Amino acid sequence: MDEKSIKEEVIRTIEYYIEGARQCDDILFYKAFDRNATMSWAEDGSIRTVPIEELLKFGQSMGKQEVDYKLTVCSATEDTAIARIESHFNKAGTYTDMFTLVKGADGWKIVSKIYHLYKKN
């Protein structure tokens, strides 16, 4: 498979995450994330890491929402990838998200997400 096709598959996986957030749909959410995925961020100088289910619970508490995003980085091999998006969720805020993805038997899955939440002025 050529690099362009690989990147298109990676982007499709990220779009499952975005569309899952828009629709508050856990089926779409798990089309994007591996069940053992983690999410990490910095909070008050400490590094926090939680199972990805915490993101799903947060999304469910927000309900359906409008989401805009822009892919700013995508680099991939045949079975690994990294991606970065700038996103705005009308209820949850504005973020920089960085993802690590791996291609397994079920296709591409996000195995880790790190993020930065921009503070509102």
pLDDT tens column, 111-121? 999 999 998 76
The CATH number for 38's domain is 3.10.450.50
**pTM over the 0.85 mark:** yes
First to last CA, the chain: 45
Range of the domain at 51: 3-118
Spatial distance between the Cα atoms of 20 and 37, rounded to a whole number of angstroms: 16
pLDDT tens column, 17-63? 999 989 999 899 999 999 999 999 999 999 999 999 999 899 888 88
Indicate the number of domains in the chain: 1
